[in-house]
Amino acid sequence: MKLKGDELKKIRKKRGLSQTALAEGICTQATISLMEKQNRIPKMNILTAICARLDIDVDQIIKSDNVSLTSIFDEVSILLVHNQYEEAQAKLNRVKVKQLTTDIDKQRYYYLLGRIQVANNQVDEAIFNFELVLTQFSTTSANIYLAMTTVGMALAYEKRDNQKRASRFAMRAVNLIDDKQLIGGKQQWVILYHDITSLYLRLGQYQAAIQTVNRGIRACQAEASMFLLDALYQMRGQAELGLEQTDQGKEDLQIAHSLSIILQNDNRTEEISKQLEKLN
């Protein structure tokens, strides 16, 4: 990884902060100076705290040495959220373990591997890999993979028909979001809310599903992004129907239908059309 010191300085000044103000309670002013002038990367907990104070993602000031690896992980994440598990497996197979030189790369790899294993009913293997992420490969920083992997554990136990433990892990993931300043990309946040909502729906916890999906919708709105927005509105409609809020549920499904057409998501358009037909 390489630090973009000039970009850090630019953002700090845009926020109206001196080096001393940015460093207060986190590190020394000299540390900030070294970051900006010599691109010196501090300890991860310092880096994430600085980014949290600046309200930016770590990747805005960090350049990955292995762009291709990051690209593969991002592609696998998108495939997973669209349930394209075979394609995700083929893509992840391109990554060799020796390429995983940092803890964050190991976290991403073993989390994604675990998600694919859950889909393939390899639950024991998935839980093993999720535990690696949460223990051996967890860094001192509070990054989003703590919550994403916790959701993975919930999915694994749901696969075992252990709804009690699945619900417990889902709640733990929500508590991680609420209690810690998790660092993650905007797209990752939407995927996280999507996955938690989907799990709550299958567990029949419709109120919790609505609370979580609303976070995902707000995250999209804040970034003027339509990423997974059709899926989020569809799930909110399903949760509302589960609570017998029929009119609101139909309205959200109609919104989801329109969004899926705009996003050219033909499979989702067809799925929502069938749901609406049953309601009419």
Phi, psi (degrees; rounded to nearest 5) at 9: -60, -45
Distance of alpha carbon 197 from alpha carbon 214, whole angstroms:
9
CA distance 184 to 150: 15
> What's the CA gap between 223 and 186, in Å, rounded?
8
Pick the CATH number of 191-280 from 1.25.40.10, 1.10.3720.10, 3.40.50.300, 3.40.605.10: 1.25.40.10
Evaluate if residue 258 carries a pLDDT over 80.
yes
The CATH number of 65-184, from 1.20.120.530, 3.40.605.10, 3.20.20.80, 1.25.40.10, is 1.25.40.10
Q: Please choose, from the candidates 93, 78, 89, the residue with its C-alpha nearest in 3D space to the C-alpha of residue 117.
A: 89
Q: What is the dihedral of CA 32, 38, 39, 44, to 10 degrees?
A: -50
Task: Specify whether the CB–CB gap between 252 and 236 falls below 8 A.
Answer: yes
- Segment 207-224 mean pLDDT: 95
Looking at residue 267, its pLDDT comes to 92
Q: What is the DSSP letter of 27?
A: S
State pTM to two decimals: 0.79
- Are 176 and 154 a contacting pair, CB within 8 Å? no
Whether the per-residue pLDDT at 63 is higher than 80: the answer is no
Q: How large a percentage of the chain has pLDDT more than 90? A: 73
Q: Is the pLDDT higher at 54 or at 63?
A: 54
Q: How confident is the model at residue 139 (pLDDT cuts 50, 70, 90)?
A: low
Q: What mean pLDDT is reported for the chain?
A: 91
Label residue 233 by pLDDT band (50, 70, 90).
very high
Dihedral of alpha carbons 78, 131, 48, 71, sign:
negative
